[in-house]
Amino acid sequence: MDSRDWLTLADRVRAEGAYDYADLARDLARQLTWPGALDVATALRSFVYGQPGGSDLHKDVELLYRRLGWEQSALVACWFRDAHNRPAARSKRRPGGWPTATPTTEEHTVTSHVEQQVQARIAAARAKVQGAKQQRDELGAARRRGLAARHANKLRRQAEQRQADDGDGDQDGEPGCFR
């Protein structure tokens, strides 16, 4: 498998443009045929679950996995597990030979159970990261306010001390002498 083409496509997926994981999966299925693309998706899934094999295919797919990242690799692997994406499911005819109903103009995105779980985990991870960032920002702002208040108090005490030192003891001409 020549992975250079797939690495450039993986870069397009990571760029979060109009080309997404489903487009990459369709291109894999179109160019490698369904069984070959399914092998690549299975190897990607083994990296997602942290149990990669040692075959040549796994070594080639590791570059693709590293370029895509965990999230996009999981989505590509899930795309191949979805029964609606299999070649037989995309046929224009039913198993009995009768044509299917004409597709509606409204595009309906059907996602598999696994893809929904992956999306939920991704959303939870993003929310967790966002919450941690917000907490860090709030704690940082509180720390800066506290430092500013302590610094202002220190300057105020120093000014009061200087005033107290200047006003003390010059009653007999000797500094620091009290009566």
Chain segment 30-54, per-residue pLDDT in tens = 888 878 888 888 888 888 888 878 8
Tell me the CA distances in angstroms from 162 to 86, 155, 168, one per residue in order: 84, 11, 10
pLDDT tens per residue across span 126-136:
999 999 999 99
**For all residues of the chain together, what is the average pLDDT?**
78
Residue 68: which of 109, 38, 25 has the closest Cα? 25
Lowest mean pLDDT across 14-28, 78-92, 127-141? 78-92
The pLDDT assigned to 76 comes to 84
The stretch 50-70 carries a mean pLDDT of 82
**63 in Cβ contact with 3 (< 8 Å):** yes
The pLDDT assigned to 126 comes to 94
- For 83, other C-beta atoms within 10 Å of its C-beta total 9
69 has pLDDT over 90 = no
The stretch 5-23 carries a mean pLDDT of 76
Measured in Å, how far apart are the chain's first and last C-alpha atoms? Answer: 98
The pLDDT assigned to 82 comes to 75
Which range of 8-22, 105-119, 153-167 scores highest in mean pLDDT? It is 153-167
pLDDT above 90 coverage of the chain, percent? 24
The pLDDT assigned to 136 comes to 95
The pLDDT assigned to 65 comes to 83
